Structure 1
Amino acid sequence: MGAWAASRAVLAAPEPVRTESKVMHRVSIALAAPHSLQHLPLTLADRLGYFGQSGVAVEWLPHESGAKALANALQGQAHVVAGAFEHLFGLHQKGLSYQAFVQMGRTPQLSLGVATRLDVRSVMALKGARVGVSSLQSSTHFMACHWLMQNGLLPEDVVFVEVGSSAGAVDALRAGAIDALCNPDPIMYGLEQRNEIRIIGEARTLVASRKLMGGPVPGASLWARSDFLQKQPELTQALSDAVVHALKWLQTAGLTDILKTVPPSHWEGDRAIYLGAFEKLRESYGLDGLFASDAVANAWQAYKRLPNRSGGNRPVLASTYTNSFAAKSKTRF
């Protein structure tokens, strides 16, 4: 069964499990780069017990790229995806009704760097280079294309190499298998601090992201099939509550709080690098889980500029997200 055909398969509805204190809803979430700072709100919601408090038992389905996490959902193996918002445009163009229901990031939280062994100082000098991305059709691939096109190159002017979003990406750079890399933090920040890459494109901060994308855009989000949201409103609300609670906690958390909460396995072997990467991204996290219509419109305009993205059905942008769940969560925390 092909990936798009498999999207029609229906994953069995999550069965609630009653504990002594409350009914726990089981849900599977597919996500890329689970240790990346893009998913820090999920890590916090898990470690601080907010999912459990909201009545949710989460099964995590980790992948090396957003495209593979999406494929996992389309094959009926995951109820929810934690990933880049722009995937929703491609789904709607193909007539697949998915909706984002809580926003975790307000920028792509990605950067593009070139190996310092090369005398390359700008994106324009990447012509003919091997550029590592988590996978084709992932947010790292999309963002690398944006940087190339903004600097007068086309995606076909480089060779994209799929390297994942964990240790394999670092190994590929160090082995000389790639010349440049687009990935999330803390991987990119760590390579930069060790003087192994030179950052030539950055979409971590609000200012840098808006300059590249032409305005504000939504970042990492939780999204699922529209019919899932309709049939499982209590479960969806519980997920939204846990994430928004974590976002609120994050607004006043100090670095010591982060270290106490995030497990060492997420630090990439260096807690100072992890905290430095977090500090660069702190402003980019969502405040209340809500989506802004102008940010979604800007994201669509940017997505349309990518090669071969303007065909198919034009998405009804208001149908790509819902604020009904996050709005309720906002009143609770």
Structure 2
Amino acid sequence: MKMRTLLVAASLLFPALGAAQAGEIEKPNLTLGVGGKPLLYYLPLTLAEQLGYFKDEGLTVEINDFGGGAKSLQALIGGSVDAVTGAYEHTIRMQQKKQDIRAVIDLGRYPGIVVAVTKDKADSIKSPADFKGKKIGVTAPGSSTYILVQYLMAKDKLTPEDASFIGVGGGASAVAAVQKGEIDVISHLDPVISKLEDMGAIKVLVDTRTTEGTQQVFGGMNPAAVLYFKESFIKANPNTVQALTNAFYKTLKWLEKATPEQVAATVPQEYWLGDKALYIKAFNASRESFSTDGNIDEASMKSALNLITTTDPSLDAAAIDLSKTFDGSFLAKAKGQ
């Protein structure tokens, strides 16, 4: 009986005990890159941090927030971060460049990106076919917001050179770019989009926050934000990768049942862009986009590959091994715990 009491006490005193029992964490102090952390696209990251799930797994995670997903990818390749929460499509692109980057859990099953035209240009810009010669605001050139616009333009026989792309960042700076008339079109995410809609500043043309909108664009599902690493890091630090995957899976299950009010109360208040009710509205608009099980199936992988080959004809789809873009073994273990 005394031994049982001691074990119970130990489990309360050491929240990371479960993670430690699974194997010693090789790198308990991690750096993680992200491109626009306040955006709902990366909500699971913020929730995992705020809910203390990283600490529960024995991890201390330093989050470096870059101007866009392409910049966080560059940081991973350059070695200044250990992991990234970013677009799944990067795992495909980097394979072409002989860089083995693998996702281990899906955070967003739909892109959650909205392409909209500013209200004063709504009469002349009716669809992506009208983007020629226009100034298009994206989080950062090369990021998922940029690639989606490329994809839409390619379907209308336009090239990226037909328009000017401007990096507007991830939060208030994006709203300001619309207000100041610096751009004609914006490709962005919530809560920025809901803020602009509430202001009456934009007219939505394409919406991938929902199942219906995503199917209209891609003809099916299309994975968005994932947690990814270099394959070399995964091999060298399997217990660390497992712990981080556990934390994110736990977050997805919390998010699946959470009320909008609970979500708003958990994120930092500055993420509300000055309006809690608006943040809740933005979350409700994007809720369908979040993954509930963390998995990426083959059809979704092929949808992402099609997006990339459409925007980059130089990429040889036949040379891409999609099985190497997603390692589901860590997710399977997380589900079994």
Same fold (TM over 0.5): yes
Single out whichever of 231-240 and 304-313 deviates more from structure 2.
Answer: 304-313
For residue 74 of structure 1, what is the aligned residue in structure 2? 77
Report the CA distance shift for 1:313/1:228 in structure 2 as closer, same or farther (over 3 A): farther
**Count, aligned residues:** 313
> In the alignment, does 2:253 pair up with 1:248?
yes
Structure 1 residue aligned with 2:57:
54
CA–CA separation in structure 1 for the residues paired with 2:146 and 2:186: 10
Residue 220 of structure 1 and its aligned partner are, at CA, apart by 0.2
Cα distance in 2 between the residues matched to 1:158 and 1:244: 39
Partner Cα separation in structure 2 for residue 89 and residue 164 of structure 1: 24
Going from structure 1 to structure 2, the CA distance change for 1:184 and 1:59 (only over 3 Å counts) comes to same
Distance, in Å, in 1 between the alignment partners of 2:207 and 2:314 is 23
- Identity, in percent, stands at 32
Q: Does 1:128 pair with 2:129?
A: no
Give TM-score, length-normalised by structure 2. 0.89
Look up the equivalent residue of 1:114 and give its one-letter code: V
Q: What are the residue-to-residue correspondences of 1:191-202 with 2, within 5 Å?
A: 191-202=196-207
Shift of residue 259, structure 1, vs aligned partner: 2.3
Higher Cα Rg, which structure: 2
1:128 & 1:204 partners in 2: Cα distance?
27
Mapping 1:95-134, distance limit 5 Å: 95-118=98-121, 119=123, 120-134=125-139
Look up the match of 2:184. Answer: 179
Q: CA deviation at 1:312?
A: 9.1
User: Residue 151 of structure 1: CA displacement?
Assistant: 3.7
Matched, 1:325 2:327: no
Query: 1 CA distance for matches of 2:223 and 2:264?
Result: 27
- Check the 8 A contact 1:112/1:201 in 2, yes or no: yes
Unaligned residue ranges in structure 1 (runs of 5+): 1-19
Q: How does 1:131-280 map to 2 (within 5 A)?
A: 131-280=136-285
Structure-1 residue corresponding to 2:34:
31
Contact 2:264 2:279 in 1 (8 A): no
Q: What are the Cα deviations for residues 302-324 of structure 1, in whole angstroms up to 9, with x where unaligned?
A: 21111344259822110011110
Distance 1:312 1:102 in 2: 23
- Which residue identity does 1:108 align to in structure 2? P
CA distance in 1, matches of 2:129, 2:120: 17
Structure whose residues are more often helix by fraction: 2
Q: Tell me the secondary structure at the aligned position of residue 333 of structure 2.
A: helix
Structure 2 Cα separation of the partners of residues 209 and 93 of structure 1: 26
What is the CA-CA distance between 1:214 and the residue it aligns to?
2.9
User: 2: distance between equivalents of 1:209 and 1:261?
Assistant: 28
Structure 2 residues not aligned, in runs of 5+: 1-12
> What's the Cα RMSD here?
1.7
- SS where residue 259 of structure 1 aligns? helix
In structure 1, the residue matched to 2:96 is 93
Consecutive aligned runs of 4 or more in structure 1 exceeding 4 Å deviation:
none
Task: For residue 173 of structure 1, report the CA deviation from its aligned partner.
Answer: 1.6
- What is the identity, as a one-letter code, of the residue corresponding to 1:306? T
Q: Distance in 2 between matches of 1:93 and 1:103?
A: 21
Aligned residue identity for 1:88: T
The amino acid across from 1:327 in the alignment is A
TM-score relative to the length of structure 1: 0.90
